[in-house]
């Protein structure tokens, strides 16, 4: 009995190979960059950049754009869970956006309140260091498939509560940003924080113009882009009552958020040190040098 031609290498008998069965259509690769939560993340970046543009002289517009950018931080998480589009890229994009926008606002506050600039510099450093150490420790010690938001309670119940409860996380992040926004608004309105906002050459308590303590305006504001000219342009643009209320209400939570950053930094450092000790034991370090006995 002749064998069916489909089982022969040359089925038609004249040397031409039979075309193999058509393979199943491969599933198309998903475009992670166009996932809904990531699109929301891009809009946050655009709004943050726009707020920076208006930040020097337009407090209301800047605050509105900055606040919307921060509030969208909660929306992208909801979208990720609803559409099953949680990704590592989205998590990193979210964290980088948070760190950069907060740092940019603190940089402005450092220039608006130069006497307190070291505090804002320390806050920037603490925020960046604690989150970087925490994410690096999670990836290197917990595995590349583990999220930085999944913290074992045995390591820190504070971080466990902070990251596992979305309401707690949102409250701390929102009020932390609200405090800095309030300070930003006070830089336009409060002479208590920026006394020079109300100082004018005609005030009785000010030195006479032209003296070394009070140089001529032409010497202070030689350029419209100088720090002095920007400060004068900011003066008394709005009432300070509401910003003071917002600052007082949000300060305790902001302080708590900085304490959590310290805890996060310390716990991540200890976790990395545990891994270092285990790796050194595995390599037999420190190696004991052989001491030759004198004969």
DSSP element (H, E) containing 227: helix 227-234
User: How many Å apart are CA 241 and CA 285, to the nearest integer?
Assistant: 62
Q: At 214, is the secondary structure helix, strand, or coil?
A: strand
Residue with tokens 């309105």: 189
| Residue 98: active-site member | yes
Contacts of 48 (CB under 8 A, 6+ apart): 65, 66, 69, 97, 100, 101, 104
Contacts of 43 (CB under 8 A, 6+ apart): 72
Buried b / exposed e across 219-234, counting CB within 10 Å, b at 16+? eebeeeeeeeeebbeb
Angle ∠(43,58,119) on CA atoms, nearest 5: 85
Catalytic: which of 73, 76, 98, 127? 98
| Other beta carbons within 10 Å of 190 | 21
* Cβ atoms 260, 172 nearer than 8 A: yes
Catalytic residues: 98
């Amino acid at each position: 009995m002749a064998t069916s031609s489909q089982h022969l290498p040359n089925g038609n008998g004249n040397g031409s190979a039979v075309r193999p069965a058509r393979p199943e259509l491969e599933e198309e690769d998903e475009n992670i960059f166009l996932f809904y939560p990531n699109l929301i993340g891009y809009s946050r970046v655009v709004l943050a950049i726009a707020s920076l543009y208006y930040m020097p002289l337009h407090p209301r517009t800047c605050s509105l754009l900055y606040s919307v950018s921060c509030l969208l931080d909660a929306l992208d998480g909801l979208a990720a869970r609803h559409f099953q589009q949680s990704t590592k890229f989205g998590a990193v994009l979210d964290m980088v956006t948070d760190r950069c926008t907060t740092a940019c606002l603190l940089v402005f506050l450092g220039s608006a309140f130069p006497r307190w600039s070291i505090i804002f510099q320390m806050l920037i450093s603490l925020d960046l260091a604690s989150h970087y150490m925490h994410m690096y420790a999670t990836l290197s010690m917990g595995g590349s498939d583990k999220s930085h938001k999944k913290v074992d309670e045995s390591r820190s119940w504070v971080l466990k509560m902070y990251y596992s409860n979305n309401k707690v996380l949102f409250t701390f992040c929102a009020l932390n940003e609200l405090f800095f926004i309030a300070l930003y608004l006070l830089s336009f309105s409060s002479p208590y924080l920026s006394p020079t906002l109300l100082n004018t050459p005609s005030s009785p308590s000010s030195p006479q113009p032209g003296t070394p303590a009070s140089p001529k305006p032409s010497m202070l504001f030689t350029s419209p882009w100088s720090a002095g000219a920007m400060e004068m342009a900011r003066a008394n643009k709005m009432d300070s009552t509401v910003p003071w209320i917002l600052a007082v209400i949000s300060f305790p939570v902001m302080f708590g958020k900085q304490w959590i950053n310290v805890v996060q930094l310390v716990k991540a450092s200890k976790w990395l040190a545990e891994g270092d000790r285990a790796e050194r034991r595995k390599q037999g370090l420190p190696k004991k040098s052989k001491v030759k006995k004198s004969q």
